[in-house]
Amino acid sequence: MAEEDLIKVRLAKLENFRAAGQAPYADRFERTHTLAEAKKLKLGTKKISVAGRIMTMRTMGKLCFVTLQDASGKLQIAIEQEHIGKDEFKFFSKNFDIADFVGVTGELFETQKGEVTINVAEYKLLAKALRPLPEKWHGVKDQETKYRQRYLDMTMNEETRKRFELRANLVRKIREFYWSKGFTELETPVLENISSGAVAKPFMTHHNALDIDVYLRIAAGELWQKTAIVGGFEKTFEVARCFRNEGMDPSHLQEFSMVEHYAAYWNYEDNMQFMEEMFQYLLKETLGTTKVEVLDREGKKVTVDFKAPWPRKEYVKMIAKDCGIDVLKYDNAKDLLKEIRAKKIKIDDAEKMGYGNLVDHLYKTVSRPKLIQPTFVIKHPADTKPLARRNDEDPRLCNTFQLLVNTWEIINAYSELVDPTDQRARFEDQARAKAGGDEEAMAYNEEYLRTMEHGMPPMSGVGMGIDRLVTLLTQQENLRDVVMFPLMRPIGVGAHNYAPLQTASPSGTGNLSIPAPGISYQEALGLAKKYLTAQTSFLHSREAELVMRGLAKKLGQDEELWGIAGLLHDLDWDLVKGDDSQHCVKIKEIAKDTKLNPEFVDFLITHAYGAPCGDLGNKQRSQAAEHALAAAETITGLIFASALVQPDKKLANVKASSVKKKMKDKSFAAKVNREVIKEIEQVGITLDEFLEIALKAMQEISDELGL
């Protein structure tokens, strides 16, 4: 039964409760025990009151077994006609559904199969669910659904809920450790006049009351905490949400959680010892061990041992060892970039970076990927750390450290710069870099300099990413897996039946929404197999499906909806047998005999705009989603051809850079329209990004394609 039909049935049941004089949404329910507590009681205990969501129901004649779930776990209850009466039993069995919340009172007993169960004497509906839960045996598997409807993910997947319980416990233990060591928790501003505390691009907004532009903080109150220490505090910390208007990938989010602390009279070596002690405490309190299995960048499990002490490796020496470049030989970005290019090291947008940012990206390219076990990377160049104290023995370096685990930076820390003259000079260098186009360079902050000039004691501070740490400890691959409600791009009408939204593409060129297909993915797959009888036609549609799914993931759209569009775009191809004039004309005839939404069919047809198909030759695509579909189905031909010219004809060995070169060679796969592929830029995705997405998508089904 379709979901809309199930909803109608549940709405009717809702009215049955009202007709019987029962409120379908209760005000409260008095529990005597959680489900886990009730399960541990002595058999025969009476008048136990518990509540939870119905997860399973099995009716056998005059007996109904129900599984309830609350935050503590699951427990079986039994609704027995002999015990509650014929009318009450009939009402329960006819009007309660899986996903409803119910409260019951009864006696604890054990079934013949040895399962602890409550024999219900009284029941009460607490909340009627109008939508069903996902299929019970599979839970929530779709990644986008997990992010968009986290409540379903947590309801159906206990592992997910446990992950967020661990996160909450970890944050609690972090706070407990700080307080036990004499630190004071502060609250610092989220909106700032000047964005500082890190090298990053901020979000900006306008404060109407003050008529000024302000920035969302990019760090957990670094300058504010140091200002508090000038005012007399000696040890401070803050657990904070921070915001950086930069790229999103599995190890970076624009909104994230971190903790920062500052301690007067400490240096960076004191802080390294402190963080080693903190991690021993946190891991033993939350996991019971310092050895943790994590996923490496290839998704394989590797054991990481946090037992202290951790090795120290010098930043500059690591880079020199890994690529042969001594960054201290250069004092400007231009000369360093020349050497980087001479070594054939690729860094995106390197020409826009100041010296410090360029050095940091070089390190992230050649050295950081090798750091798996917990490692302190120490003594960064002064130009990469605008707020760090210079090293007394070599003023080109700073007294800094970062904790790297499994290639991820978990901690960034240093001895703080407390010399206002040096700080002013560093701010000026950052200002010049920003003026030269480096959006991540730090802003000049005269107010902070004034604070320093009143006298600032020696100190050291630490910034630690909470999301990254939890991701690491729970064997996840993406930070969004440990953020309960990650920010997502709004979607249009799709398989989730959300209300229609006009969603702007990243470049602001049009609508990314696609009309609902009117059928499920399995039904769409059945149509494709029915009408695309030639293997080449079916495989082309599968290629387009996977590329569309890849684009949807990149754009934050409904992956299944976009996949269906790719799968069905050429549905009439084998019917017209190469007669281009009938392509995308016959599809409307097919649609009449199916449940396909006519608006969805009209969308599919747009991929043939400009081609000699019926009256489509003079039509032009105008919406971002239309450009995406056309580019997606076209790029498959170029990638497929690129695989065929490989010596081993293996798609796995094709590189995006190779496909890009072949795209420039118009004699190669000459029938592939390069201009249509370039339409992807109308969606706000660069050609390089698109080639990577499409290639990766097709490689997922290389066995199916015979490549």
Q: Assess whether pLDDT exceeds 70 at residue 192.
A: yes
> How far is 340 from 359, CA to CA, in rounded Å?
10
- The percent of residues above 90 in pLDDT, for the chain, comes to 55
Distances from the Cα of 555 to the Cαs of 150, 420, 486, 640, in angstroms? 19, 45, 14, 24
The pLDDT of residue 386: 82
Q: Model-level pTM?
A: 0.66
Indicate whether 667 pLDDT > 50.
yes
The rounded distance, in Å, linking the Cα atoms of 376 and 385 is: 16
Report whether pLDDT(219) > 70: yes
Write the pLDDT tens digit of every residue in 370-408.
Answer: 999 999 999 998 878 888 899 999 999 999 999 999 998
What would the mean pLDDT of 192-212 be, rounded to a whole number?
86
pLDDT averaged over every residue in the chain: 88
Residues of the chain with CATH 3.30.930.10: 161-482
Q: What CA–CA distance (Å, rounded) separates 683 from 660? A: 19
Contacts of 697 (CB under 8 A, 6+ apart): 543, 546, 547, 549, 550
- Residue tagged 């997860």 (tokens): 55
Tokens of 526: 């059945």
Structural tokens at position 674 = 């390069």
Which pLDDT does position 141 carry in this prediction? Answer: 67
Instruction: Work out the average pLDDT over 99-114.
Output: 96
66-75, 241-250, 449-458: range with lowest mean pLDDT: 241-250
Cα separation of 359 and 337, whole Å? 9
Burial class (CB in 10 A: 0-12, 13-18, 19+), 480: buried
401, β-bridge pairs: 378, 413
Q: What is the 3-state secondary structure (H, E, C) of 76-141?
A: EEEEEHHHHCHHHHHHHHHHCCCCCEEEEEEEEEECCCCCEEEEEEEEEEEECCCCCCCCCCCCCC
- pLDDT of residue 506 exceeding 50: no
Statement: residue 495 has pLDDT above 50: no
Higher pLDDT, residue 456 or 652: 456
CATH class, domain 3-133, is mainly beta
Residues 17 and 23: beta-carbon distance below 8 Å: yes
The segment(s) of the chain belonging to CATH 1.10.3210 are 521-705
The dihedrals phi and psi of 366, each to the nearest 5 degrees, come to -105, -20
Section 123-138 average pLDDT: 84
pLDDT at 508: 36
Using DSSP, state whether 245 is helix, strand or coil.
coil
pLDDT tens for each residue of 259-288: 999 999 999 999 999 999 999 999 999 999
pLDDT band at 617 (very low <50, low <70, confident <90, very high): low
Task: Give how far Cα 246 sits from Cα of 249, 490, 688, Å.
Answer: 10, 19, 18
Give one DSSP letter per residue of 638-672, joined into a string: HHHHHHHTSTT--GGG--HHHHHHHHH-TTTTTTS
Query: What does each C-alpha distance from 137 to 2, 56, 76, 141, 242 come to in angstroms?
Result: 18, 11, 17, 11, 38
Question: What distance, in Å, lies between the first and last C-alpha atoms of the chain?
Answer: 39
Q: Is the pLDDT of residue 502 over 50?
A: no
The contacts of residue 694 (CB under 8 Å, 6+ apart) are 547, 550, 632, 635, 636, 639
Read off the pLDDT of residues 426-478 as tens digits, 9 standing for 90 and up: 888 888 877 777 766 777 888 999 999 999 999 999 999 999 999 999 998 88
Q: Which letter does DSSP use for residue 384 in this model?
A: G
Give span(s): CATH 2.40.50.140, the chain.
3-133
Cα separation, 146 vs 480, whole angstroms:
10
Per-residue pLDDT, 138: 53
* Length reported for the chain: 707
The CATH number of the structural domain formed by 521-705 is: 1.10.3210
For 634-645, the pLDDT digits (tens) are 999 888 888 887
Range 161-482 classified under CATH 3.30.930.10: yes
Structure tokens at 431: 């200002």
Predicted local distance difference test score (pLDDT) of residue 501: 25
Averaged pLDDT for residues 197-207: 85
Amino acid letter for position 424: R
- DSSP-assigned states of every residue in 491-511: --S-TT-PPP---B-TTS-SB
pLDDT at 578: 62
Span 547-590, pLDDT tens digits: 999 998 888 888 888 999 999 888 888 887 766 677 777 788 88
Where in 336-382 does DSSP place strands (E)? 375-378
Comparing 189-203, 318-332, 538-552, which segment has the lowest mean pLDDT? 189-203
| Cα separations in angstroms, 497 against 257, 362, 505, 617 | 32, 45, 20, 33
